[in-house]
Amino acid sequence: MSCAWLRSAGPACLAACLGLVLAGCASADDARVLQVLNQRGFGRPTQDANRQYYVGIGDAIVLQDRIHPEYNGVQETVRMDGVVTLPEVGEVYINGLSPDEVTQVLQLKYEMYINDTSGLSVRVLAANSKRYYIAGVPPRQTRSFQFQGDTLLIDAIERGQVDEILVDTDRILVLRGDPENPLVIECDYDDIVSYGLTRDNILIRENDVIYLTPSIVGWITYGVSILVAPLKPIQQLVFGWNNIISVSDSFGNSTAGYYGQGGSQYYGGF
């Protein structure tokens, strides 16, 4: 009786055990995924560089020291791990710190090597770490721009060389990222440039995404590009073959003119 029960229950037990194992793997994978998911802001330091600049990856800093000239003018770029390597003190983590905070950190570091650190300060030499993005509208690709500060919506649109025929200028979205509740600001760009109503001419922040909503012409253009996309390889093949024929013809004509008929006329005098 017990053997019959085991035989009948065997597949069910095996399936249950397998389900438990898979569930355990799934929960472990879910936990690992949660560890790498972005939990704050856009995923980078969330300070406002318009109010207080903070050092980021790729920024270059220069030391200034009016007392110790051997340190004055030392330049370093922030590595991808947020660290700079400086004389004497070695590696120092400065990512996300303001220049004043970097100065305080370095003054503490250099107290072991110089008596008076009051003349030591830091200046940002190249600000490369801040970006904003323009997305949407055919070909619907996202473009990245260096954030230089004091950038209004009209500045960003002008810099992006936006085609206003393809864009619904009455509805441009500025997306300020957040893991759960992103801020979406709908702006009427047409009111800004046509009527001077500057309410929607907002100050862009680093990591903002400016989404360009397509106009009717933009949607038509996008639809046509999708329909034509499968024909592009054939078009490239045809035009490529025509270019080859054209090049070979021109090469043959020039050769004939020099070595053929034209050449015989030139060498005929000898």
pLDDT digits (tens, 9 = 90+) for 23-62: 555 577 888 887 888 777 787 766 788 888 999 999 999 9
As annotated, the residues of the chain forming the CATH 3.30.1950.10 domain(s) are 60-126
Return all residues near 72 (Cβ < 8 A) that are at least 6 apart: 63, 64, 65, 66
Pick the CATH number of 131-223 from 3.10.560.10, 3.30.1490.20, 3.10.129.10, 3.40.640.10: 3.10.560.10
Q: Look at residue 245 and tell me whether its pLDDT is greater than 80.
A: no
CB atoms within 10 A of CB 63: 22
Which amino acid appears at position 120 of this protein? L
pTM above 0.95, yes or no: no
247 band by pLDDT with thresholds 50, 70 and 90? low
60-126, what's its fold?
wza like fold (3.30.1950)
The terminus-to-terminus CA distance of the chain in angstroms comes to 118
41 three-class SS:
coil
Distance from C-alpha of 129 to C-alpha of 56, rounded to nearest angstrom: 5
